Structure formats: C-alpha cells, structure tokens
Amino acid sequence: AQKITQTQPGMFVQEKEAVTLDCTYDTSDPSYGLFWYKQPSSGEMIFLIYQGSYDQQNATEGRYSLNFQKARKSANLVISASQLGDSAMYFCAMREPYSGGSNYKLTFGKGTLLTVNP
Amino acid sequence: DVKVTQSSRYLVKRTGEKVFLECVQDMDHENMFWYRQDPGLGLRLIYFSYDVKMKEKGDIPEGYSVSREKKERFSLILESASTNQTSMYLCASRWGHLNTEAFFGQGTRLTVV
C-alpha cells in the first residue's frame, strides 16, 4: 500500500498567487515526521520544511507552510506568492520507525510537478 | 556544508555487468539511503542503512545489494545489470535524530544497454 500519496501529478499557478500541493500519508505509528522537498530541473533535492507528528503548530519556513491535519493524515504544502523559480517537482516524504525500533526509514511520494506561469 | 557525493554523474554499462555505485558523506550521518527515481514513480527506496554493516531492504531491493563497511560510505551493487535498471539513482544521508532532514547527492544517471 502507498505510504505517501500525492494525487496531483501536475499543477499550474499564476505568478504571485498561492498554491497548495496535497499529500496524504498512512502510518499506524504515533511517532513520525513529514518532509517536503523541491527538485528543480537541475535535479538537486532541496529540503523545504518539516513537521513532526507531535508538533502542536503547523510548520512555516518563509513562503512555505505546512497545513498539517493529523486526523485526516494530510500534510499539504502551501506556497504563498509563487515565483517563476518555484517551478519544479515537489516531493512529500515520511520518516517512520522501521520494525518498531528506533531506526527510521524515509519514504517518498510520486511527486507533483508545479509550473508557475508569468 | 553537508556534502553527499556520488562517484559518477553518468554511467553506461552493459547487460550482465556488475555495477558499483558509490556514495560518500562527510557529516558522520548514521542513516544512509539508496533510491531510484523514475518518471511518474517518484523516489523508491531500494536499501537503507542505520549503522556500519547494518542494512535493511527497502521497497524494491530485488536485483540490488549494498555494502556499508565504513560509516561515511554506502555502496549500491547491481549484481548483474539489466535494462530495467536504467534509472536515476539518488543517495541520501541523515543523522539519526528524529527531526533532521536527509541530504542528497547529485544523482547518478545509469543506462544499461
């Protein structure tokens, strides 16, 4: 079963507008973490934002914020005031314990390709 | 700055060859990961390691093996390369702490002909 689901293969947004990229996850462990990464056409993976399962507040980093809805198991990325340079592939990832121990694996979704139009 | 270095940016190998992809990190990270990235499939976890000589299978380990003899180095081995292993391979590493992100190498584009 998919652990991380990103249902939007592609998204378009006008420059300066806000956009939400969806991510839902599946885990039975109470301790987990959620990450968002950006991958521009150059191929590098850029860490954007992190949300822990016990964090009381939604994470924010500059123009990025994470809309964390624990009961719905969703962790959507919100990008405010989109810029042309935001055009990239965006991946949601989950850190979860491996075999119930203290070691962790990192699982990624299939990604969403965001295009920002001028 | 954290640095994760993959030994090759591009590789072309023949079917049946044994292929080694090397990854080195310079930040004393406990955890290291190998992923393959294919269009429409995202990043799929092949193997990961949480300590020296420790390895665990990810979601798609078939046809691959790994080695971690030293903390800084994590090698991915294709025992007998096949054309369906043509892909982009990404190595990542992170500290074992709960909320630390993973750092990625630049990727190796492997073509098996």
The answer for B 16-55 residues in CB contact with A (under 8 A) is 31, 33, 35, 40-45, 48, 50
Q: List all residues 6 or more positions away from B82 whose beta carbon is below 8 Å from its beta carbon.
A: B15, B16, B63, B112
CB contact under 8 A, B41 and A45: no
Q: Which is it for strands B31-38 and A64-69: parallel, antiparallel or unpaired? A: unpaired
Contact in structure between B4 and B91 (CB atoms under 8 Å)? yes
Q: What is the mean pLDDT of residues B34-55?
A: 93
Angstrom distance (rounded) from CA A23 to CA A91: 9
Angstrom distance (rounded) from CA A92 to CA A107: 9
From the list A6, A47, A111, which residue is nearest B101 (CB)?
A: A47
Angstrom distance (rounded) from CA B107 to CA A41: 13
Q: What is the mean pLDDT of residues B53-76?
A: 95
pLDDT in tens, A43-99: 999 999 999 999 999 999 999 999 999 999 999 999 999 999 999 999 999 988 776
pLDDT in tens, B12-44: 999 999 999 999 999 999 999 999 999 999 999
Among residues B33, B14, B9, the alpha carbon closest in space to that of B108 is found at B9
CB contact under 8 A, B48 and A52: no
Q: What is the mean pLDDT of residues B78-107?
A: 92
> What mean pLDDT, rounded, does chain A reach?
93
Angstrom distance (rounded) from CA A91 to CA A97: 20
The pLDDT score that the predictor gives to residue A89 is 97
Q: What is the mean pLDDT of residues A6-13?
A: 96
The pLDDT score that the predictor gives to residue A100 is 54
pLDDT band at A2 (very low <50, low <70, confident <90, very high): low
Judging contacts by C-beta atoms under 8 Å, the chain A residues touching residue B102 are: 35, 47, 93, 106
The pLDDT score that the predictor gives to residue A96 is 80
CB contact under 8 A, B42 and A110: yes
How distant is the Cα of B6 from the closest Cα of chain A, in angstroms?
A: 12
From the list B44, B45, B104, which residue is nearest A45 (CB)?
A: B104
> What mean pLDDT, rounded, does chain B reach?
94
